[in-house]
Amino acid sequence: MEVLRPSLVNINGRIYRRNVIKEEHYEEEEEDFSYMGPPESEDLEEDETCDTHSIEQTDKGYRCAIDVPSVLYKYIIGKKGETRRRLEMDTKTSITIPKQGVEGQIVITGSHKAAVSSAITRVEVLMDSFRKKQPFTHFLSFPLNDPNVQDGFQRFKEDVLKQCSQDHGVEGSIFQNPAKLHLTVGTLTLLNDTEVRKACEHLQECQTFIRDITEGKPLPLAVTGIEYMNDDPAAVDVLYAKVDVKDGSDKLQVIADRMVAHLVSSGLMNRDWDRVKLHGTVMNTLFRKDSRVEDKGGPGRQTMSEREAFDARNILKKFGAYSFGELELNTALLSQRHSTDCTGYYSSAGSVIFS
């Protein structure tokens, strides 16, 4: 950990320093979730009270209920209940957790308000740590599946396969599905319906500043040019289309950055970069079909560790300034990963309209 730039945890708008701890390896099938130790920030005072949750006074002391997705229960319980017992012992509280798979609230009770507050903080640090280990479930995007751009993409695919199929790794399965063309804004891990609903509500809150930027009109975009993600054009995993606002402004970039900032501030998204890298994927080696897997009845897709890069030098030379077409962008979508709607695009959980 860098002393001057420590890793930070944002929990309901409050910032804690993440101290380095030895991480256990968990075997999920054995429910082997061991206690992780005291709070990752030792800077917390024992008498610190929690101002992000309502702690109620009862006849027997104090009580607080925390919304926790059921998928995270096992990390708070630990192997054979070890983590919960240690939390209860360290904070002198009692922690009640619903049955696995049943969505509900974790209830913390104790004789002292400070003890309940301390337990809340420790539970939330555990939740934050293990939430980051879950795969993302939803993503924000600007859809590019306009018929004009789809036609341009199809021509691009046909021309590339006709002129560059002899290059290493270039074949039809690594091209994007034209119905799913989009600009990625950011990813979210939403672990239950409550979190999805909150994300949709925060997305709707973006409408005010989006309409201020667009003046209540769709954004005219030109999808022109291609670029690659890594630094070696002979070994590329992702090739993407570049998109510009036709008036030359940075309105689309500003909208994307402010949307991410708003959702990060809500605690529903992590900030990976200072600036959103808008990219419309047209070729991705994760799409590559593996006939060996297909023969065994699997989906045929390669994994991150198996992916085979392709030589994009000829593609970049011949199609570097390729024009996929133009469109008027009027929507940002919160979509569910690995799902499609009737149009073939990713199923939408929420949206915000520019005009």
The CA distance from 110 to 112, in Å, is 6
Closest CA to 334 of 275, 285, 269, 282: 269
Residue identified by tokens 């879950």 is: 134
Confidence tier at 268 by pLDDT (50, 70, 90) = confident
Model pTM score: 0.76
Of 3-17, 21-35, 95-109, 193-207, least confident by mean pLDDT is 21-35
Cα distances from 206 to residues 105, 131, 156, 202, 210, in angstroms, run: 29, 25, 34, 7, 6
**Structural domains in the chain, sorted by start:** 8-131 (3.30.1370.10), 138-353 (3.90.1140.10)
**pLDDT of 25:** 43
The CA distance from 180 to 178, in Å, is 5
pLDDT digits (tens, 9 = 90+) for 137-148: 999 999 999 999
**pLDDT of 292:** 47
State yes or no: pLDDT of 49 exceeds 90.
no
Beta strands across the sheet bearing 93-96? 56-58, 61-68, 104-110, 93-96
